[in-house]
């Protein structure tokens, strides 16, 4: 069966070859495209099922940020920061001639969404924010900092899946082995030596703990650029990154925001949950 997407690339301002999946959607569609942006240690495969679903009605673009998936690793680890990721995506959007779109951002991808909106208000027609907001709970940041640099490699996918369950089990207490295997195949890849390891440059951990890199300052100002934009905020019930108080403040600043809580899930929902899919479908139905 033919793939529903094309593997394509663009070149960053500093010369890196960056990869993205391009799901073209139905021929002749004039609906706004969707830009999906993944979290810190993830890649374009994170949106595989969702992008497939959305592409039945419109184009979907899913980049691998630098240092992840099929994109080049950066020789300078200091470029692993949200400002640079946004600059990379801005160049992709310009080259593709996309001046208005729907954004779906998981964790770091949600931070990027706010930054894109702040840089050019009005171009984002609708937003899905996945378990992220303008304020981030420090306990969640500390947890991420604890595993992002660990690395490791495994002889089989079963070993990789069991390792993931040990690290992230508190966030997904109901996952069985099949679900952990699915997550492993989205998060890790087979290396040239035949072992399975994480599909990102371990150097992304180096700048993560520096001020302004986990989350840029003054993101509430960036969030204001989305004040009148239709938005779905998806939060894991067990999230340690997005607090109920932050959700309350976000709702007060954007009356067009609806909130969907995914039960018995932490950071971050996969967006394959029925509650998430239903909310995303309803949002997209109103985004021509």
Per-residue pLDDT 10s for the chain (288 aa) are 457 999 999 999 999 999 999 999 999 889 999 999 999 999 999 999 999 999 999 999 999 999 999 999 999 999 999 999 999 999 999 999 999 999 999 999 999 999 999 999 999 999 999 999 999 998 898 888 888 888 889 999 999 999 999 999 999 999 999 999 999 999 999 999 999 999 999 999 998 877 666 778 889 999 999 999 999 999 999 999 999 999 999 999 999 999 999 999 999 999 999 999 999 999 999 997
Taking every pair of Cα atoms in the chain, the longest distance, rounded to a whole number of angstroms, is: 52
- Give SS3 for 223: helix
Predicted pLDDT of residue 190: 97
Q: How many other β-carbons are positioned within 10 Å of the β-carbon of residue 240?
A: 20
HSE at residue 287, side-chain half, CA atoms within 13 A, is 28
State the pLDDT at residue 1. 42
Query: Would you give the DSSP letter of residue 35?
Result: E
Q: What is the pLDDT of residue 2?
A: 56
Q: Helix crossing, 177-187 with 157-168: angle to 10°?
A: 100
Q: Which CATH superfamily is domain 6-149+203-285 in?
A: Alpha/Beta hydrolase fold, catalytic domain (3.40.50.1820)
CA–CA dist 63, 72 (Å, integer):
12
List Cβ<8 Å contacts ≥24 apart for 164-172.
168/266, 170/238, 170/266, 171/236, 171/238, 171/265, 171/266, 171/267, 172/265, 172/266
Compute the distance between CA of residue 8 and CA of residue 17 in angstroms, rounded to an integer.
10
Torsion of CA 276, 282, 285, 288, to 10 degrees: -70
Q: Which of 177, 238, 185, 176 shows the shortest CA–CA distance to 49?
A: 185
Q: How many angstroms separate the CA atoms of 19 and 92, rounded?
A: 10
Spatial CB neighbours of 231, under 8 Å, sequence gap ≥ 6: 126, 127, 128, 129, 254, 256, 257, 258, 283
- Residue spans of the domains in the chain: they are 6-149+203-285
Which 3 state secondary structure label does DSSP give 11?
A: strand
| Residue 69 near residue 201 (C-beta atoms within 8 A) | no
pTM: 0.97
Half-sphere exposure of 234 (CA within 13 A, CB side): 29
Please, what is the end-to-end C-alpha distance for the chain in angstroms?
30
Q: For residue 76, give both structure tokens.
A: 């300078």
pLDDT at 147 (0 to 100): 86
Q: How far apart are CA 90 and CA 276, in angstroms?
A: 27
């Amino acid at each position: 069966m033919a793939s529903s997407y094309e593997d394509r690339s663009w070149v960053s301002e500093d010369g890196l070859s960056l990869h993205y999946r391009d799901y073209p959607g139905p021929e002749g569609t004039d609906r706004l495209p969707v830009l999906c942006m993944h979290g810190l240690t993830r890649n374009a495969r994170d949106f595989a099922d969702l992008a497939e679903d959305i592409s039945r009605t419109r184009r979907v673009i899913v980049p691998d940020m630098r240092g992840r998936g099929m994109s080049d690793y950066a020789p300078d680890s200091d470029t692993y920061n949200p400002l640079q990721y946004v600059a990379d995506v801005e160049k992709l959007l310009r080259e593709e001639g996309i001046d208005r779109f729907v954004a779906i951002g998981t964790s770091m991808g949600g931070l990027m969404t706010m930054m894109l909106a702040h840089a050019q208000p009005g171009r984002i027609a609708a937003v899905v924010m996945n378990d992220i907001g303008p304020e981030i709970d420090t306990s969640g940041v500390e947890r991420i900092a604890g595993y992002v640099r660990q690395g490791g490699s495994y002889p089989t996918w079963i070993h990789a899946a069991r390792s993931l369950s040990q690290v992230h089990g508190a966030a997904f207490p109901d996952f069985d082995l099949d679900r952990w295997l699915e997550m492993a195949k989205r998060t890790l890849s087979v290396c040239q030596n035949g072992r399975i390891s994480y599909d990102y440059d371990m150097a992304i951990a180096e700048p993560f703990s520096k001020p302004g890199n986990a989350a840029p300052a003054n993101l509430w100002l960036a969030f204001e650029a989305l004040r009148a934009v239709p938005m779905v905020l998806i939060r894991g019930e067990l999230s340690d990154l997005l607090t109920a108080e932050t959700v309350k403040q976000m709702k007060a600043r954007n009356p067009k925001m609806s909130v969907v809580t995914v039960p018995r899930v932490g950071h971050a929902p996969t967006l394959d949950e029925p509650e998430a899919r239903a909310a995303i479908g309803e949002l997209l139905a109103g985004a021509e």
